Amino acid sequence: MNAAISCKDLTKKFGSFTAVNQISMEIPKGSIYGFLGPNGSGKSTTIRMLCGLITPTSGTGTVLGYDIVKDAEKIKQRIGYMSQKFSLYEELTVDENLDFYAGIYGLKGNTAKERKKELIEMAGLTGREKQRAGTLSGGWKQRLALACALLHQPEVLILDEPTAGVDPVSRRIFWNVIRDLAKQGMTVLVSTHYMDEAETCDFVTFIYNGKLLAKGTPEELKQQAEQQSLEDLFILYVNAQNGKGETNNAIDKTVI
């Protein structure tokens, strides 16, 4: 498998607390990879390590062949990252935010102008160019954040719960854009706790209390554990981890 992102035994401790515990996974190029789990499960911490934003306590990882510790700055130049919270400048307009990030990524002149035009159309922001970001609704803010993350045409797009708190219509539009990007060859790692979103991913990994519970395609995991949905499957995993309720024997085939 030609992996865009790979990590082995990736671990992050904050004092005596282990936020991420020996996570290993490989994300194929051109795939949509769902990183699933409830709030506080370790998704964001793992993503921040892969982006080169924080240093692992132990373990190894690469993004596009670059080491997440030694080559962190090179990784940042080649990925698009959208954080869990809206991280743009609310006092700036849509246009001004895009101009600011174009400058950060070194885009100038006609190149920046054409790229901005493409992304405004892609995100459905046409007509809102002069609107201040702070006045946009949650869904529109996330579309602007995505446009800024894509300005430099990254090979890998990493999204940390991009649709949290966003209305269902905006979530659907956002995911249509993600699927179009993957069809064009972009690798997308997206964390979410919405299982209906995860159903459309090529591969998924379940994380709970900093540990990976299972990984595979959505259909493989559901069939192996004899469940109708990823939501039912995840509840089964969590109950098994917490010693609650009965577990079915098939779950042993999927748990790592």
Confidence (pLDDT) at 165: 78
Q: Six-digit token pair at 250?
A: 């098939």
Q: How many Å apart are CA 63 and CA 107, to the nearest integer?
A: 23
- Give me the pLDDT at residue 163, please: 85
- What is the rounded distance in angstroms from the CA atom of residue 252 to the CA atom of residue 214? 10
Cβ atoms 41, 17 nearer than 8 A: no
Helix H, strand E, coil C: the string for 71-136 is CHHHHHHHEEEECCCCCCCCCCEHHHHHHHHHHHCCCCHHHHHHHHHHHHHHCCCCCCCCCEHHHC
Q: Are 185 and 22 in contact (CB under 8 A)?
A: no
In sign, the C-alpha dihedral spanning 191, 76, 29, 56 is negative
* CA dihedral of 193, 194, 200, 203, whole degrees rounded to 10: 10
Contact 32, 200 (CB under 8 A): yes
- Strand arrangement, sheet containing 58-63: 17-28, 3-14, 58-63, 66-67
The torsion of the CA quartet 188, 193, 196, 201, rounded to 10 degrees, works out to: 20
Stated pTM of the model? 0.89
Residue 80 amino acid letter? G
Fold (CATH) for 3-253: Rossmann fold (3.40.50)
DSSP state of 211: E
- pLDDT tens string, the chain, 256 residues long: the values are 589 999 999 999 999 999 999 999 999 999 999 999 888 899 999 999 999 999 999 999 999 999 999 999 999 999 999 986 667 899 999 999 999 999 989 999 999 999 999 999 998 899 999 999 999 988 899 899 999 999 999 999 999 988 887 888 888 888 999 999 999 999 999 998 888 889 999 999 999 999 999 999 999 999 988 888 998 998 888 888 777 655 555 445 455 5
Q: In what order do the strands lie in the sheet with 203-208?
A: 79-82, 156-160, 187-192, 32-36, 203-208, 211-216
Q: How far apart are CA 1 and CA 153, in angstroms?
A: 23
Would you list the domain boundaries of the chain? Answer: 3-253
